[in-house]
Amino acid sequence: MLSIVFSTLRTGISPMPTLGKVRRQLLPLIESDLSGTILELGCGWGTLAFALADRCPRARVVAFELSPLPFAFCWLRQRLAPRSNLELQRQDFFRASFSDAALVVCYLFPGAMTRLAPKLLAELPPGTRVLSHTFALRGWKPLRTLMVDDLYRTPIYLYAVPSPDA
Ligand SMILES: C[S@@+](CC[C@H](N)C(=O)[O-])C[C@H]1O[C@@H](n2cnc3c(N)ncnc32)[C@H](O)[C@@H]1O
């Protein structure tokens, strides 16, 4: 419990999972035959990471998580029900390279989105897709926005990384 509190203070967000209704609307936005690398930024308990690995069997899903308890849970889950295309990394995703990503998926918080935007612009080729729910990338124009029919009317944003001169 203390480790979750400490990690929440460190990262700025608790390991709150993506809920079922959001997941069910988010996953069909991703082509199931997508190949290449999908980055899950802050995978929490693995709710989205395992679903992404199932949705895109030809892709390699790299899921980052800093918080020890959720990471250990994911690790155990991967031992018990392995997904051959899922790789878990206990690492700060801000320190990882995004350069070979075909898709970036996240459910973070406004401060992290602000910090993330320049990294996405610097490291991803224009046109690379970024999927975020709940929080938007300020100043970016989504290709699509969906509103989930849940209590919070959760927005899901699908972006394409703009070209530098756009
Ligand atoms: C709201 S949860 C989302 C969990 C999961 N993506 C999902 O949708 O079910 C955000 C997670 O991001 C993790 N996180 C936040 N900043 C991080 C960072 N810089 N590096 C790695 N993990 C981070 C937090 O520990 C937390 O578990």
Closest C-alpha to 43, from 68, 70, 4: 70
Distance CA 93, CA 23 (A): 22
The reply to whether CATH 3.40.50.150 applies to domain 2-160 is yes
**pLDDT tens, residue by residue, 99-135:** 999 999 999 999 999 999 999 999 999 999 999 999 9
User: How much distance in Å is there from the Cα of 13 to the middle of ligand 1?
Assistant: 7
- Report the pLDDT value the prediction gives residue 10, as an integer from 0 to 100: 81
Index of the ligand 1 atom closest to the CA of residue 92: 20
Residues with CB under 6 A from ligand 1: 7, 11, 13, 15-18, 40, 42-44, 47-48, 64-67, 70, 92-94, 107-108, 112
Domain residue limits, the chain = 2-160
